[in-house]
Amino acid sequence: MMRAKKLASKVAVLGLGAAMCISLAACSGGGSDFVDEDGDGWAPPADCDDANAAVHPLAVDEPYNGVDEDCVDGDLTDVDRDGYDGQEAGGTDCDDGDARRFPGNAEVPYDGIDQDCDGNDLIDVDGDDHNGLEANGDDCDDTDPDVYPGAVEIPGDGIDQDCDGEDIIVIENDADGDGFVTAAEDWGLDCDDTDPEIYPGAPERCNMLDDDCDGETDEGLTDWDIDGHPACRDCDDYDNSVYPGAMEQAYDGEDQDCDGLDLQDVDGDGVISDIVIPNGDCDDNDPTIYPGATETCDNKDNDCNGIVDDGISDADSDGDGVKDCLDCAPNEFAISPNRPEVPGDSMDNDCDGLTDETNIDSDNVPGGDLQGLAPDCCDAGDEASLGCDPLTRNQIHGAYTDPSGVVVEAAPEIYYDGIDQDCDGSDVTDADGDGHDSIMVAGGDDCDDANPEAYPGHEEVCQDPSDNDCDGTVNEDCGAGFDEDVEVPGALFTRGLPDATDGTRTKKAREPDQSPAVEINMSSFYIDKYEVTISQYRRCVAAGACLIHHIDGWGSASDPEYWFNQDKGLHPALFVTWDDAQAYCAWVGKQLPTEAQWEMAARGALPNDRIFPWGDPEWVNPSGGGASVRQPVSCDLANHAHLCTQEMCVGDVTPADEYPGGVSPYGAYNMAGNVSEWVDDWYSSGYYDVSPLDDPPGPATGTERVYRGGSFSGDDYEMESVTRRKAIPSGQSVTLGFRCARMPPEAWQP
């Protein structure tokens, strides 16, 4: 084939006439002009070398020998005629016998042929450094550079980016695709939704992160010396004084803080102490002193040459014992840094920049100077400073540094008291700087002056357990999982039930601690609309304000992974101790409700004295006649156990926002059934006989705390709003949760 092409080329060069007479003696014609010196049957000009019989138009051109045997285009250097000379001729064609292979040709992947002469077959088409499966590689889609083992998976796009065989199932608001919704959502449990390796129940990875969202870092890892730092980060896990961040002991040759070095330059001036090396820093506690430092007039040996203020004049022009370079008035004997201030002489005797200052209130901060620059704006007690008088003057002064360098901090400002303690010119009335004065001062309207996102007119922020719009209610309409509460206006309510002597057949105390029935006067308060959920409690854990190790690994009655199940985010927080519950309430600015608050929120104010949040039990006459009998509560009203059969409606807790038909008079959910709820009070069986009639706080001491409301496993009697139960504060149960309450913020009173 190659030679046929060559022949065709020769025909084209010689022309049709010449081609017709080709033979060993062709075109001789016997003419006298035909000269064939080499006897090859060709004469010039057709024979390009008539001295060499191997060279003529029909000769076979041998490639790469420098000879043009066929008299066409010089020596043959591009055998396969692909436009690229062979490498044997100094060209770039890696296979001059195959016209499919030359630099720049389109590579055919996975065929074992190097079409483009780059030295390799194409086995990584998309250039993602992972070879295609066709080449025994691991790239499951070698046409897409974003698809390879270890690539970031994009949830729900139908593409298996990381080649694990499946796309991530999309869960709304699960940004990192770990199957847990961000804690910013009402039911979310993920304390870090940017990292797919951080979620409830994840293994700790020794990375100084809370991988399992339990509020602790690297817990459970080997820590031989029990210094709180696991071996994987502790540079000496046999010495509990050595760990990252430990206090470094200078010059001892030990690395206590695991930074790789002993502390040899305490003052950080870049020079190691002379305790460690000869001719080092002669004062390693003063960064202005080290070998080579510039000597200044400060009564120090700055350059460590053994001479104080070397090269600086010792002149004392006024003879007051202070060198001129340190004396603010070198020619005035009565003025120097070591002089006391002389009132009334119109001089700055002590060189502090103030003239005739006083210290009448003995707080070591000067005031009353002629310039009006002294930091104590209430020294005598008659100055015009806000709130200044003889009784408050010792509480008022600004920051001050005396001539010897002693620093006195400004007096701490007390908000809303009408006194300018720190001498900045005003009292603090808008602590959070949101432009609204606190309700604690006249004319103020900010209900939460510690939160710049809370003031009248601000939108309610569900993720913020504050009353952002200052309308009195927290997170209204936000739903379960967001600390929403309801108002219980101040009023009288009936606490307890009459005893057997005073009560009726249908309304009397079943147990002694439920009586007597007494009218109690309650101030207004707010109580959570829903039981505190797992998602809420986990946010507190992530913030470091709550503990979860008490409940780690505990399930519910039917779900062993209850605390780690994303679907249970809006279910009540179980297995919390009384202290756990109180800690959560404090974190959101609330507290556990008192027993009286809880009962009023469940029963309502007078004239109501209902047994259940929705009303009284139903009594029906039997079909065969006789006295009426109490009917079991319907499972439509509460999650509980049947009064007669003890069969449970569900058999486990349900979401905190279920059973809307059983809400209390104020709109609180599940105050009967689902989970029992801790309250603030110590338990005392006879407390009703001795408690005050106004806002009873509960007994001052005790050994057990009260819980209320019944649970999913308790029957109708347990669910009654008057039923009192008790447990030790450290008690935990699959049936025990809580909700929080708060008092309205205090407002300014004229």
Q: What are the φ/ψ torsions at residue 627 (nearest 5 degrees)?
A: -65, 150
d(CA 487, CA 479): 15
Is residue 275 over pLDDT 80? Answer: yes
Is residue 278 over pLDDT 60? Answer: yes
Contact 213, 178 (CB under 8 A): no
> Which residue in 506, 717, 709 sits closest to 602, CA to CA?
709
- pTM of this prediction exceeds 0.85: no
4-9 contacts, C-beta under 8 A, 24 or more apart: 5/81, 6/60, 6/61, 6/70, 6/72, 6/76, 7/58, 9/72, 9/73
pLDDT value of position 553: 61
- pLDDT band of residue 2 (cuts 50, 70, 90) is very low
pLDDT value of position 670: 98
Report pLDDT digits (tens) over 625-670: 788 899 999 999 999 999 999 999 999 999 999 999 999 999 999 9
State the residue for tokens 């109501």: 608
Query: Which amino acid appears at position 494 of this protein?
Result: T
pLDDT value of position 550: 61
Q: Tokens for 294, please give them.
A: 């510039």
- pLDDT band of residue 747 (cuts 50, 70, 90) is confident
Contact 220, 196 (CB under 8 A): no
pLDDT value of position 552: 57
Q: CB burial class (10 A; 0-12, 13-18, 19+) of residue 11?
A: middle
Contact 145, 125 (CB under 8 A): no
Contact 207, 195 (CB under 8 A): no
pLDDT value of position 24: 38
d(CA 498, CA 699): 21
Chain centre to alpha carbon of residue 196: 13
- pLDDT band of residue 551 (cuts 50, 70, 90) is low
Query: Domain 480-533+570-745 carries which CATH code?
Result: 3.90.1580.10
d(CA 616, CA 603): 10
Query: Which amino acid appears at position 367 of this protein?
Result: G
Please, what is the Cα angle at 259 between 253 and 263, to 5 degrees? 40
Per-residue b/e over 185-207, b at no fewer than 16 CB within 10 Å? Answer: bbbbbbbbbebbebbbbbebeee
Report pLDDT digits (tens) over 143-169: 999 999 989 888 778 898 999 888 766
pLDDT value of position 29: 41
**H or E stretch covering 28:** none
DSSP string spanning 254-321?
A: --TTSSSS-B--TT-SS--BTTTSTT-BS-TT-TT-STTPPP-SSSS-TTSSS-TTTTS----TT-SS
> What's the length of the chain?
750
Helix (H, G, I), strand (E, B) or coil at 679: strand
- pLDDT band of residue 549 (cuts 50, 70, 90) is low
Report pLDDT digits (tens) over 207-216: 999 999 988 8
* Residues facing residue 139 across a β-bridge: 132
Report pLDDT digits (tens) over 659-709: 999 999 999 999 999 999 999 999 999 999 999 999 999 999 999 999 999
Is residue 128 over pLDDT 80? Answer: yes
- pLDDT band of residue 170 (cuts 50, 70, 90) is low
pLDDT value of position 503: 66
> Which residue in 115, 96, 95, 114 sits closest to 105, CA to CA?
115
88 or 601, higher pLDDT: 601
End-to-end CA distance of the chain: 113
Region at 270 (left for phi over 0; alpha for psi -120 to 50; beta for the rest): left
> Which residue in 431, 452, 737, 746 sits closest to 585, CA to CA?
737
97 or 128, higher pLDDT: 128
Contact 591, 741 (CB under 8 A): yes
* Residues facing residue 592 across a β-bridge: none
Report pLDDT digits (tens) over 552-565: 567 999 999 999 99
Q: CB burial class (10 A; 0-12, 13-18, 19+) of residue 161?
A: buried
pLDDT value of position 163: 92
Give the percent of the chain with pLDDT over 90: 70
Q: Tokens for 288, please give them.
A: 């202005």
Is residue 231 over pLDDT 90? Answer: yes
State the residue for tokens 């009192």: 724
d(CA 359, CA 244): 47
DSSP string spanning 557-579?
A: SS-TTGGG-GGGTTSBP-S--HH
